[in-house]
């Protein structure tokens, strides 16, 4: 999730590991520890735009990485904390501050390498958005009170856990709606994604495969339950689209890497397969314009591709999204 939430969560867990007279110090250290795994953002290369995607939420978010990162942070902080904390307590604070980061990210739709290196695939439950202000506030206010009144941070963790359970229930409801629509269309599918949209558990984005095509819809749960049809896009299949390029060229290698990082949810944006998109994300819940696109050069299959971010929150997009939250009919 976002670094603010990760910092608050790290602070809350770190407070649980210390006596009452150390909670404020533990909260500060835990906050730093909670955002430490997201420093993988700085793993980038101007010659390889996919490198950042490959290592985001990778080894720094794995369970194996927790004690290693905690050890590094302990060593860095020890000169500043040795007069107040013993080495064991400092390590414990760092460990519990880092621990929930990868676990929480598994609940989002992006995917996290939680079990690396034993399982080299991203894990995702798709039950909460990457940014969810209500979830963050449920953690923040008890943490704030806990700085002055012992153990109130436990309430925040309990509330957050309750929210995640509710999110799981909402996810199952959304999947049931998607399955009903799919059956009405007479479609069979081998894979699907149903995930919440930004900052809420009411409007969900639905994607499923059928005969090399991906059907995109949005749905609003509750009363009223509303369906927002999106569109149909063509799934990217390298063996079909890249027949013009020699195997072993960069376009083959990088398209395979892009497929892995997107869990296979890649669409072709042109017939040659030189423009690809991650259809999991779009600015609108039922949108078919990918948030991230990967562009290659047809004239030079070995040339470095361009990773393009299509993020643009226009007034029109905001109005449509707000209408979906309210359950208004499709414009």
Is residue 181 situated within a structural domain?
A: no
Sign of the torsion angle spanned by Cα atoms 126, 127, 133, 136: negative
Rounded to the nearest 5 degrees, what angle is found at the Cα of 216, between the Cα atoms of 211 and 220? 140
The helix/strand/coil state of 295 is strand
Same domain? 241 vs 302 = yes
Same domain? 7 vs 153 = yes
Same domain? 131 vs 193 = no
Residue 206 structure tokens: 């639905």
Is residue 290 situated within a structural domain?
A: yes
Same domain? 298 vs 199 = yes
Is residue 147 situated within a structural domain?
A: yes
Region 261-271: what's the mean pLDDT? 91
Given this model, what pLDDT does residue 331 score? 60
The per-residue pLDDT for range 224-242, each reduced to its tens digit, is: 889 999 999 999 999 999 9
Same domain? 139 vs 241 = no
Q: Residue 327 contacts by C-beta under 8 Å, 6 or more apart in sequence?
A: 220, 222, 223, 224, 226
Number of domains in the chain: 2
Same domain? 140 vs 213 = no
Same domain? 193 vs 319 = yes
- Kindly indicate the confidence band of residue 16, based on its pLDDT and cuts at 50, 70 and 90: confident
The per-residue pLDDT for range 77-131, each reduced to its tens digit, is: 999 999 999 999 999 999 999 999 999 999 998 889 999 999 998 899 999 999 9
Is residue 179 situated within a structural domain?
A: no
Among 105, 132, 167, the domain boundary falls at 167
Given this model, what pLDDT does residue 266 score? 96
The per-residue pLDDT for range 39-51, each reduced to its tens digit, is: 998 899 989 999 9
| Residue 228 domain boundaries | 187-326
Global confidence as pTM: 0.92
Q: 81, 22 in Cβ contact below 8 A?
A: no
Is residue 316 situated within a structural domain?
A: yes
Among 135, 167, 199, the domain boundary falls at 167
Query: Is the pLDDT reported for residue 276 higher than 80?
Result: yes
User: Cα–Cα distance between 273 and 238 in angstroms, integer?
Assistant: 8
Same domain? 120 vs 214 = no
- Kindly indicate the confidence band of residue 270, based on its pLDDT and cuts at 50, 70 and 90: confident
Region 62-85: what's the mean pLDDT? 96
Q: 215, 222 in Cβ contact below 8 A?
A: no
Q: Residue 184 contacts by C-beta under 8 Å, 6 or more apart in sequence?
A: none
Same domain? 23 vs 149 = yes
Is residue 287 situated within a structural domain?
A: yes
Same domain? 11 vs 157 = yes
**CA count, 13 A, side-chain hemisphere, 188:** 1
The separation between CA 199 and the C-alpha centre of its own chain, rounded to angstroms, equals 13
Is residue 198 situated within a structural domain?
A: yes
Rg (CA), the chain: 22
Same domain? 46 vs 140 = yes
Q: Residue 9 contacts by C-beta under 8 Å, 6 or more apart in sequence?
A: 34, 100, 101, 104, 139, 160
- Kindly indicate the confidence band of residue 151, based on its pLDDT and cuts at 50, 70 and 90: low
Same domain? 272 vs 158 = no
Among 167, 197, 221, the domain boundary falls at 167
Is residue 130 situated within a structural domain?
A: yes
The per-residue pLDDT for range 191-224, each reduced to its tens digit, is: 999 999 999 999 999 999 998 899 999 999 988 8
- Kindly indicate the confidence band of residue 150, based on its pLDDT and cuts at 50, 70 and 90: low
Given this model, what pLDDT does residue 278 score? 96
User: Cα–Cα distance between 130 and 28 in angstroms, integer?
Assistant: 23
């Amino acid at each position: 999730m976002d670094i603010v939430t990760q910092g608050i969560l790290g602070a809350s867990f770190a407070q649980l590991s210390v006596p009452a007279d150390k909670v404020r110090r533990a909260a500060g250290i835990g906050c730093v520890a909670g955002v430490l795994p997201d420093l993988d953002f700085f793993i980038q290369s101007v010659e390889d735009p996919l490198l950042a995607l490959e290592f985001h939420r990778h080894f720094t978010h794995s369970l194996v990485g927790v004690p290693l990162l905690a050890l590094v942070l302990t060593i860095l902080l020890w000169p500043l904390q040795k007069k107040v904390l013993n080495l064991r307590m400092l390590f414990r604070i760092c460990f519990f501050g880092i621990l929930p980061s990868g676990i929480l990210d598994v609940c989002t739709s992006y995917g996290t390498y939680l079990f690396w290196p034993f399982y080299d695939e991203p894990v995702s439950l798709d039950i909460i958005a990457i940014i969810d202000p209500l979830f963050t506030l449920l953690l923040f206010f008890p943490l704030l009170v806990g700085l002055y009144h012992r153990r109130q941070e436990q309430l925040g963790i309990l509330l957050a856990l309750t929210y995640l359970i509710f999110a799981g229930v909402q996810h199952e409801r959304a999947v049931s709606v998607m399955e009903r629509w799919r059956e009405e269309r007479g479609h069979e599918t081998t894979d699907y994604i149903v995930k919440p949209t930004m900052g809420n558990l009411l409007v969900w984005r639905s994607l499923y495969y059928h005969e090399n095509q991906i059907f995109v819809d949005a749905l609003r749960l509750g009363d009223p339950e509303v369906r927002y049809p999106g569109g149909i896009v063509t799934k990217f299949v390298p063996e079909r689209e890249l027949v013009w390029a020699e195997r072993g060229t960069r376009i083959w290698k990088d398209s395979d890497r892009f497929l892995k990082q997107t869990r296979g949810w890649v669409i072709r944006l042109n017939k040659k397969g030189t423009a690809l998109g991650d259809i999991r994300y779009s600015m609108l819940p039922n949108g078919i314009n990918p948030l991230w696109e990967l562009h290659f050069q047809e004239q030079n299959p070995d040339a470095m591709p361009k990773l393009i971010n299509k993020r643009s929150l226009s007034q029109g997009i905001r109005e449509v999204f707000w209408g979906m939250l309210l359950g208004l009919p499709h414009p």
